[in-house]
């Protein structure tokens, strides 16, 4: 079934109804232009101190909070053959760099564009889609885990024909692999490839359709002489002096599909993305939560590596209500960090499994209301589910549902 889903999504016809983060605010020639958006929100969790992908973990004694989720300030400039983008993110946690890249193309090869600096990883659909335009509060758990903060540092060559086959886009990037971290922790680099197709205004200009596929080929360096590989219902440790400094495969394969239809009731959209592959992680412990155990690292992981086969996907559905400013949204996503084991076996003595191997699914639903073309209100409720394991803290479904009310202003 898993293989069927993968090939199904791969063969289906990508539209990027998107606002691509790897671009200036406008491709028209202009001097300095400043844009951005601010997201402020209130959240109520099902219980205090939960781990959460909905804006970060809650503090130990808190089950509610006001936070600034994103405060983006984007500065860009475009001339005839080049452009520059510089973006900051300011929240209650401080100010950090989000984008800093230069793009240029040659007058002879106008279909090609080179990007260098800090930019969104060109993988799939949701990673490069701007959070300022996304209907759903957050990206799916699987993408937040594998590609935290979405960005990486490197260089990217993009191809989009200007005349024939304008529906085609292709990207090839080489990056550090350590995300927003300014320094790579080993000398290996990761490769990302993306191919997308975009078909607008079909069926009397009412249907918009597209599909795409992506690949990520990278590695994670081992800092110890022991690693754990999957075996029947768990992991087995392999110890050898040669394992230290060894690089283990970090490979992802993804496919995505988007549909939009302008109908008598209002605009309807359906978007989905699937990803599977190999992810070297670590074991969950008192200092590393189960959420973080299979996360991609910005620094050298100090513990033994656990080689996990994973998959994940999401479905996003939106329906404009009777051509009003009100839109209903429903989302469902799944992330299984270890497809080689069932939850009922996690925590069994001797199989070396931890909370880092638990599968989670999230059902979300809510409404958005566009007060005007700059101001949007979002109300969203998430039901997060996990099956019971043998681990002490996960013998039933963890009470980690989250309700979010968000106000966004974009300029």
Reported as a single tens digit per residue, the pLDDT across 336-372 is 999 999 999 999 999 999 999 999 999 999 999 999 9
Candidate from 3-7, 43-47, 297-301, 354-358 with smallest mean pLDDT? 3-7
Query: Containing H/E element for 376?
Result: strand 375-385
| Residue 202, pLDDT score | 86
Q: What is the mean pLDDT of the chain?
A: 93
In whole angstroms, give the CA distance from residue 358 to residue 344: 10
* Higher local confidence (pLDDT), 163 or 263: 263
Q: Give CB contacts under 8 A, 24+ apart, made by 198-201.
A: 198/14, 198/15, 198/16, 198/167, 198/168, 198/169, 199/13, 199/15, 199/167, 200/15
Overall pTM surpassing 0.95 (yes/no):
no
| Residue 53, pLDDT score | 96
In whole angstroms, give the CA distance from residue 114 to residue 101: 10
* Residue 9: pLDDT over 70: no
In whole angstroms, give the CA distance from residue 407 to residue 285: 36
* Residue 282: pLDDT over 60: yes
| Residue 18, pLDDT score | 43
């Amino acid at each position: 079934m898993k293989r069927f889903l993968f090939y199904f999504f791969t063969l289906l016809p990508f539209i990027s109804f998107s606002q691509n983060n790897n671009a200036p605010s406008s491709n028209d020639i202009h001097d300095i232009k400043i844009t951005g958006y601010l997201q402020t929100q209130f959240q109520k969790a099902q219980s205090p101190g939960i781990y959460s992908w909905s804006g970060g973990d809650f503090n130990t004694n808190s089950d509610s909070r006001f936070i600034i989720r994103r405060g983006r300030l984007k500065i860009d400039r475009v001339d005839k053959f080049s452009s520059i983008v510089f973006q900051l993110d300011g929240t209650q946690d401080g100010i950090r760099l989000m984008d800093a890249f230069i793009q240029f193309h040659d007058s002879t090869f106008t279909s090609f564009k080179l990007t260098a600096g800090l930019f969104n990883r060109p993988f799939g659909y949701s990673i490069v889609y701007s959070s300022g335009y996304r209907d759903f509060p957050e990206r799916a758990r699987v993408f937040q885990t594998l590609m935290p903060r979405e960005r990486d540092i490197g260089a990217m060559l993009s191809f989009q024909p200007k005349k024939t086959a304008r529906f085609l886009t292709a990207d090839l990037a080489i990056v550090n692999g350590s995300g927003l971290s300014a320094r790579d922790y080993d000398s290996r680099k990761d490769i990302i490839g993306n191919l997308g197709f975009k078909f607008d205004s079909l069926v009397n200009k009412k249907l918009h359709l597209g599909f795409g596929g992506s690949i990520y080929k990278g590695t994670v360096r081992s800092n110890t002489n022991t690693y754990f590989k999957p075996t029947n219902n768990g992991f087995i440790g392999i110890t050898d002096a040669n394992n230290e400094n060894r690089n283990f495969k970090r490979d992802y394969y993804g496919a995505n599909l988007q549909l939009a239809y302008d109908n008598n009731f209002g605009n309807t959209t359906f978007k989905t993305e699937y990803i599977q592959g190999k992810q070297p992680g670590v074991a969950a412990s008192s200092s590393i939560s189960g959420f973080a155990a299979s996360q991609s690292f910005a620094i050298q992981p100090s513990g033994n590596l656990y080689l996990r086969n994973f998959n994940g996907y999401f479905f996003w559905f939106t329906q404009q209500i009777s051509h009003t400013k009100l839109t209903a949204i429903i989302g469902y996503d799944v992330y299984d960090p270890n497809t080689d084991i069932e939850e009922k076996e996690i925590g069994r003595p001797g199989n070396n499994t931890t909370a880092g191997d638990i599968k989670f699914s999230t059902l979300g639903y809510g409404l958005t209301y566009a007060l005007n073309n700059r101001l949007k209100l979002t109300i969203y409720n998430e039901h997060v589910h996990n099956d019971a394991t043998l681990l002490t803290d996960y013998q039933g479904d963890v009470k980690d549902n989250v309700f979010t009310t968000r106000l966004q202003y974009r300029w």
